[in-house]
Amino acid sequence: MNTAAPPPPAIAPEDITGLILCGGRGSRMGGADKGLQNFKGVPLAMHALLRLGLQTGHVMINANRNLAAYESMGVPVWPDPIGDFAGPLAGWLAGLERCETPYLVTVPCDTPHFPADLVEKLAAALRAEDADIAMAATLEDGQVQLQPVFCLLKTGLMESLVAYLHAGQAKIDRWTAQHRCATVVFGDTAAFANANTAQELARLQA
């Protein structure tokens, strides 16, 4: 007689809201708004929006400038609720404050080829490991390299994140270390290639 517990049910895409992070200064790109940079004829953020929209039930954008340009993409746009370009965690908080689903998944605006199964694999790991957070990673020279802005988290973590940010903290790894975190290693490192500089954007275009 098999008494093993049944596997936990999968997380449905409609229970996940996607958040595209476009709130940075773009300092390594000469101050340009990265999400609006042209990539194969379309703004980088629109590539992320189209890719993430196929994996989640809802999508939002976090941006701190050029809000009208982002709003023209047809999804809600929310600025950071704290600080002056306070970093990715402030963007996460913007999403958590507005999220109406049990889960939020975040991606940066500057990585147009992130995996088409990103959300599915993060959700499976979070449920299988009974974790609060699931984070993508790649293998580089045999070492696991976390990709922390590709992250699925329970929306119930908002209170913890508020306390952390209001304490003056900003580092992602220190906050995620306070919670049960699953790591998902993706084999295609190139899928996480991003455009932090104009030169990197040109290489991606090619």
**Residue 113 Cα to chain centre, angstroms:** 13
Per CATH, which fold does 13-23+30-205 belong to? Spore Coat Polysaccharide Biosynthesis Protein SpsA; Chain A (3.90.550)
Q: Give the H/E segment covering residue 61.
A: strand 58-63
* 73: pLDDT strictly greater than 70: yes
Copy the structure tokens of residue 118: 């990103």
Q: What is the pLDDT of residues 126-135, one digit of tens each?
A: 999 999 999 9
- Which pTM value belongs to this model? 0.92
Instruction: Tell me the residue type at 200.
Output: E
pLDDT tens-digit readout, 84-116: 766 899 999 999 999 999 999 999 999 999 999
d(CA 195, CA 197): 5
pLDDT class of 25 with cuts at 50, 70, 90: low
pLDDT of residue 27: 63
In the prediction, which pLDDT does 174 show?
A: 94
Instruction: Give the mean pLDDT of the chain.
Output: 91
Domain boundaries, the chain: 13-23+30-205
The number of C-alpha atoms within 13 Å of 30 and in the hemisphere containing its C-beta is 5
